[in-house]
Amino acid sequence: MNWFISQRELFFLLIVSITCGFAGAAFYDLFRLRRICFALKSGFAENLLIAVEDVIFFASAGITLTLVFFVLNSGQVRLMGVGGFLSGFLLWRFTVSKYFLVAAGFVLRLIALPIKKAVMSVRKFAGRVMSAWKYKKESARTDEICRCALEDASHGFIKK
């Protein structure tokens, strides 16, 4: 195990950890985008989904940092690598994140609008079909009631 590391290797570790923090923040913004565009009603299901997303993010961030340390630093954890990851995360969060969310939200809405229209058309058609079927069913039931009423009327409403 190499306990000493050159300045170039330390600098490379720093750059890689900053890049991984940048990518990690972009990954987390995908979860934020889901929360913004496809939010459920706030309740147990939404809170559970947010908790699962957070666990996925922190697990992936931990695995990424662990792999970076094993590949670049012989498994030695250096505070500089963790600080680089955090710096990259914060750099993305306070510079690019806002623009990314706006652009991605615009693209999602652009894609989702035709899909929403198609779904609404299918719902409308299904509603018409169901309404016609229900009318036919009710019409047959009404015909049966009228037939029974006419039959009773012809017998003078006397039950035998």
Side-chain-side CA neighbours of 111 within 13 Å: the count stands at 6
Q: Is the pTM of this model over 0.85?
A: no
d(CA 139, CA 74): 80
Which stretches within the chain are classed as H helix? 7-37, 44-73, 79-95, 97-154
pLDDT at 5: 73
Whole-number Å distance between alpha carbons of 94 and 86: 12
What is the per-residue pLDDT for 83? 93
Write out residues in the chain with pLDDT < 50, as ranges. Answer: none
Query: Can you read off the two tokens belonging to residue 10?
Result: 């330390």
For 46-69, how does the pLDDT look when each residue is reduced to its tens digit (9 = 90+)? 888 889 999 999 999 999 999 998
The pLDDT, as a whole number, for residue 158 is 57
Measured CA to CA, the distance from residue 110 to residue 107 in angstroms comes to 5
CA distance 14 to 81: 6
**Residue 155: per-residue pLDDT:** 63
